[in-house]
Amino acid sequence: MASALAVDAPRASVRAGAHRLVSSLTLCVASAVGLVAFLYPFLLANAPNGGANAAHSGDAPFIFGALISLSALLFLIELSSGAMNAKLASTLAVLAVAAAVLRVPRLPAGATAFFLLIMLAGYVFGPRFGFLLGALALFVSSFVSGGFGPWVPFQMFASGWLGLTSGWLGALRPRLARHRRAEIVLLLCFGAAWGFAFGALMNLWFWPYVATGDATSWRPGLGLVATVRHYWAFYLLTSAGWDAWGAIANVVLLAVAGRPILSVLSRFRARFQVDWSG
């Protein structure tokens, strides 16, 4: 019996290692395909132009919308398929609903407080939690606003990436523990950058569908430099002003409420990590 267990232990270890490897591969590929689905206007910049492709330029949002829906599905299933700690799951539930509720009140120029909790919770609880929180909060807020459309998978990915990158930023937490002011300044810069980045990312999926003007339109084979110039013109014309307000809202909210929320979340994180085995 004992020898059988001794033989099984390395096998189980190898199996667990294989599971981890496959899981990491799945997450990487699904995330990469998600990113590709966002960046398709630039990736198709060198496709053969004219003929069928010119006519098919309007198909792109449809094709890549379907692709991102599937990669979001695979990514979420893989991320949540492991046995999840019930305490973290419960915290995730509370924060997702709280973030979704924060999307309802509108600040000036359409800005919201939606990103505040995602950034701070991702920063404290890590990238995996951050991604799930961003994606779930967006999904719940779609219930609140009653609007499920082709944009939801894109928004879930973008919001998930916000949480994911907040988690990466959180790797600096131990070093910043004694520099509270530097920590807040770092978060303010992060919030301001994401105020613009979220808008710029979300424009990408419908840009080819909406823009027809010579200086702003997209078609396959435009060339990378011309595609970037056209997108920049489109962004300046339609979104830069609104996103500036979003960035300002993020900075103000983080400056006012960032510190107290961080201390609450950090306290709960510490409680979850108590190890009673001694």
Partner 1 sequence: MGRADVVSTARAGVAAAPQRRAEEEFRLHPLVWACWFAAALSVVFLTSNPLYAALVGLAALCQYAAHRPDDRRLDYVLVIGALFAVATIPLNLISGSSGATQLVELPTLTVPHWLGGVRFGGPVTAESLAYAASQAVRLSAVFVVVWAFNVSVDHFRLLKYAPAGLAQLGVILSVGILLVPSAIDSLALMQEARVTRGHRGARLTALPALAIPLLRESLERSVQRAESLDARGFGRLALVRRPYESLIAVGALVVAAGGAFAYYYAPMPGVAALVALAGMAMLLIIVLGQQRRSGAVRLRTDRVGRADVMVVAACVASLAIIAALRVTGAGSLVFLPFPRASVPGFDALAALACVLLVAPLGPELLRRPA
Looking at the Cβ atoms of 26 and 173, the one nearer to partner 1 is 26
User: Of 71-79, 157-165, 180-188, 193-201, which segment contacts partner 1 by CB under 8 A?
Assistant: 71-79
The binder of partner 1 chosen from 109, 143, 171, 270 (CB under 8 A): 143
Of residues 246 through 275, those in contact with partner 1 by CB under 8 A are 256-257, 260-261, 264, 268, 271
Of residues 73 through 102, those in contact with partner 1 by CB under 8 A are 73-74, 76-78, 80-84, 86-87, 89-94, 96-98, 101
Q: Residues 209, 211, 212, CA angle at the centre, nearest 5°? A: 110
Indicate whether 118 belongs to the interface with partner 1 (CB under 8 A). no
The DSSP result for the chain, as a single string, is -HHHHHHHHHHHHHHHHHHHHHHHHHHHHHHHHHHHHHSHHHHTTTSPPSHHHHHHGGGHHHHHHHHHHHHHHHHHHHHH-S---HHHHHHHHHHHHHHHHHTSS--GGG--SHHHHHHHHHHHH-HHHHHHHHHHHHHHHHHHHT---TTHHHHHHHHHHHHHHHHHHGGGHHHHTT-HHHHHHHHHHHHHHHHHHHHHHHHHHHHHHH--STTT---TTS-HHHHHHHHHHHHHHHTHHHHHHHHHHHHHHHHHHHHHHHHHHHHHHHHHT--TT-
Q: How far is the CB of 152 from partner 1 (least distance, A)?
A: 10
Looking at the Cβ atoms of 81 and 175, the one nearer to partner 1 is 81
Indicate whether 12 belongs to the interface with partner 1 (CB under 8 A). no
Looking at the Cβ atoms of 169 and 230, the one nearer to partner 1 is 230
The binder of partner 1 chosen from 185, 238, 244, 266 (CB under 8 A): 238
Of residues 97 through 116, those in contact with partner 1 by CB under 8 A are 97-98, 101
User: Of 20-28, 157-165, 184-192, 196-204, which segment contacts partner 1 by CB under 8 A?
Assistant: 20-28
Looking at the Cβ atoms of 108 and 146, the one nearer to partner 1 is 146
Are the CB atoms for 217 and 211 separated by under 8 Å? Answer: yes
Q: How far is the CB of 194 from partner 1 (least distance, A)?
A: 21
Indicate whether 214 belongs to the interface with partner 1 (CB under 8 A). yes
Indicate whether 48 belongs to the interface with partner 1 (CB under 8 A). yes
Longest distance between any two alpha carbons in the chain, whole Å: 76
Indicate whether 50 belongs to the interface with partner 1 (CB under 8 A). no
List all residues 6 or more positions away from 230 whose beta carbon is below 8 Å from its beta carbon: 211, 215, 216, 217, 218, 222
Looking at the Cβ atoms of 87 and 180, the one nearer to partner 1 is 87
Looking at the Cβ atoms of 12 and 236, the one nearer to partner 1 is 236
The binder of partner 1 chosen from 234, 246, 249, 258 (CB under 8 A): 234
Of residues 150 through 169, those in contact with partner 1 by CB under 8 A are 150
